[in-house]
Structure 1
Amino acid sequence: MEIESIGTVKSKFDEPADPEEMQKEESTIIIKPEYEEGLYRIEDNDYLQVAFQFHLSDSYELKAPRRHGRVRGVFASRSPNRPSSIGTTCVELLERQGRRLKIKGLDAVDGTPILDLKPYAAIMDKPDDDFADKKEDPRAEINHLIRSHDLESLLIKAGELHGHFCPYVSLGVIAGAYALDELGLKSAGMEDVVAIVETNSCFSDGVQYATGCSFGNNALIYRDYGKTAVTVAKRDGTGIRLYVKDNDELLSEYPEAEELFDKVIVNRAGTKEDKKRINQLWNEIAFELIRKPVDELFNIEEVNAELSEYAPIFEDAFCNDCGEKIMGPKAVSKEDKDLCISCADADYLQLDGRGLVEVE
């Protein structure tokens, strides 16, 4: 079978490089003159699917370690060394000038033959997002991302919960996803999978999103140890504990971020530009960390975790002063009345930025 190219790539990269770095750069697809008419109204599209030839590839392995060390079959990877030598990438179309298309997101080197172009259509190219399927298994997409080790996409989704990207939400995603994958678990939020976090920092949000264990479904346990660590365990206690190797060393590679962290976060100072810059740096660091091997970031050990019983269902009580319903065990007996903690003006425990503290 012979396939004729319809154009070539003009790129700053003369040889293969890190795909993520290549996709950050703009490049140009130059279509052959005889195919220019086929570009009519292509500029109406924001994104294109590009099929091209890995023309520098001359061999392949059906099963081998891939970019991050995991062994996969060639058809279960995005390796450029393939039996067909065909690559596909979705790119952003920035501008059309005649038969020249300025694009961003293409991981192909200068001179790469282009085999085909077509518009990206979410309704056809995106996996079916049927509402009924979501109702049946709300974590289906998250479980797929964990199985396929697509931590970058998982981090992007965790950012929806956390509100921004930062190094520690990235670490939480890495730890939670790794533990579920290694234990062969899926979380349905019914306490069959339990996560024990030892900090209430950004790390915990990454763990909650990746594992599906939260305070609301009683599958998240908080131990106020002040350590960037998590244990993910089955109900029988079989689990994995991950602890960040060295917090200081982790960020020492990013001195500007450390300086801005002290200024903006620790001292609540800095300009608008400082705040914008630290968010940019946190974003960059988060996505750099998500690509690193887990054993570079964490100490990992198999454990037999001590877990409490399933969450009990308490009888309700009513405060004799405000009339609001409360959990029975939380009622305070005072002056022959059952009161809520606030009406009784009693001491209570509060989880906030300081950790678990007693409030008088």
Structure 2
Amino acid sequence: MIMIFDTIGYAQTAYKTINDMPIQGVGIADNLAQIVIDKSLQPGLQDLAEFSHIYVIFHLHKMSEPALTVIPFLDTKPHGIFATRSPKRPNPIGLSIAEIDHIEDNIIYVKDIDLLDGTPILDIKPYIQAFDNIKNTRDGWYEQGMDPKKTRSDGRFK
């Protein structure tokens, strides 16, 4: 089945290449970026500034071929693609959480984003703590303890 999505905007960030960009956003990226929403969709931003964080759903537009097993940034062993957050997905869709700094017109200024400059944005959804903060979860292989704050993107997912 083929699906077609229209982008709702794009990211403006300091990251021009994948090398040395943060591998996750919240608490790691330490930046201020812009999510520029198409002006025709600006009415959809009404009341969004009342939330502290958003989910940003985007197209991983710089990915090459997908892979079903990868060695993720925070491990040295291969894992199935669906057990990782690797960008080499069969459907190159990404998901990040970002803190809203402020909104001006059709631009959402966000902190802690891990997107390349020009990344096409597919959707924005509010982060709602009552729904999205699930207690007593398991983090699989990630529990080995590698520090995402000290690990940066490299060339493995070009």
Q: Distance in 2 between matches of 1:56 and 1:3?
A: 17
Question: Residue 110 of structure 1 corresponds to which residue in structure 2?
Answer: 117
Q: Secondary structure in 2 aligned to 1:110? A: coil
- Compute the displacement of 1:126 (Å): 2.2
Higher helix share: 1
**Structure 1 segment 70-109 matched on structure 2, within 5 A:** 70-109=77-116
Q: Distance in 1 between matches of 2:48 and 2:37?
A: 12
TM-score (norm 1): 0.37
* Larger RCO of the pair (alpha carbons < 8 Å, separation 6+): 2
Q: Secondary structure in 2 aligned to 1:124? A: helix
**Structure 1 segment 86-235 matched on structure 2, within 5 A:** 86-127=93-134, 129=135, 140-141=136-137, 144-145=138-139, 147-150=140-143
Q: Which runs of 4+ in 1 moved over 4 A?
A: none
Q: Secondary structure in 2 aligned to 1:23? A: coil
Q: Distance in 2 between matches of 1:49 and 1:116?
A: 8
- Compute the displacement of 1:24 (Å): 1.9
Structure 1: gaps (5+ residues): 130-139, 153-173, 175-284, 292-360
Question: Residue 7 of structure 1 corresponds to which residue in structure 2?
Answer: 9
Equivalent residue letter for 1:65: I
**Structure 1 segment 19-34 matched on structure 2, within 5 A:** 19-20=23-24, 23-34=29-40
Q: Distance in 1 between matches of 2:22 and 2:100?
A: 21
Equivalent residue letter for 2:23: P
The answer to whether the Cα contact below 8 Å between 2:24 and 2:96 also exists between their aligned partners in 1 is: no
- Compute the displacement of 1:60 (Å): 1.3
Distance 1:91 1:151, change over 3 A: farther
Greater Rg, structure 1 or structure 2?
Answer: 1
CA offsets per residue over residues 213-265 of structure 1, 9 Å max, x none?
xxxxxxxxxxxxxxxxxxxxxxxxxxxxxxxxxxxxxxxxxxxxxxxxxxxxx
- Compute the displacement of 1:151 (Å): 5.5
Identity %: 24
TM-score (norm 2): 0.81
Question: Residue 60 of structure 1 corresponds to which residue in structure 2?
Answer: 66
Q: Distance in 1 between matches of 2:60 and 2:90?
A: 10
